[in-house]
Copies of this chain bind each other. A is one copy, B any other.
């Protein structure tokens, strides 16, 4: 099976994936830390199918600051898009590669590392937007949290003015999150 490139992200109903300036919005992640049975299946699927992860430097730094990589359940190669490689790796970050030559390079390295599994673009928003705009995304999984944050960092912004058709492939309902999954039809 061909490896796919997947955006997998949690978003408020009003389209935000983080607080203003990319700061964490804890209300968005409660479903992950107290998952329902149906969400557990979605999380388990993420763990089973993800072969490599790409993230931006801000997401990496935020994870480092929160000690988020110490108990990181994704035991796969991580690729961090950055302008400059940090001097000291984050705690718990044993399998991180810093990529300074752009999104195409990061994707190539991640696909090589993932073998037949999927490459997950974790965020932040600007990284996801760049991959969408470049036509490099095969599937989008959005976990919609029932809240209007009113302000924050928008997921779908600055992706150009060309319509991108999607195909809804799955809807999984849960009490505190709705999991929507789409194929990208015309990249």
Interface positions of A (Cβ within 8 A of B):
13-15, 27, 132, 140, 142, 144, 146-151, 154-156, 159-168, 171, 173, 175-176, 178, 180, 182
Contact = CB atoms under 8 A, between A and B. Distances in A.
Contacts of A182: 13, 146
6 contacts: A13-B182, A148-B159, A150-B162, A150-B163, A171-B178, A178-B180
A129 to B, nearest CB: 10
A171 to B, nearest CB: 4
Copies in the complex: 2
Contact of A163 (B27, B144, B156): B27
A149 B166 CA distance: 10
Nearest to A146: B166
A146 to B, nearest CB: 4
B180 A144 contact: yes
Nearest to A154: B15
Given A146-B166, A150-B162, 15 more contacts: A13-B156, A13-B166, A13-B182, A14-B156, A27-B163, A132-B148, A144-B180, A146-B167, A148-B156, A148-B163, A148-B164, A151-B161, A168-B175, A168-B176, A168-B178
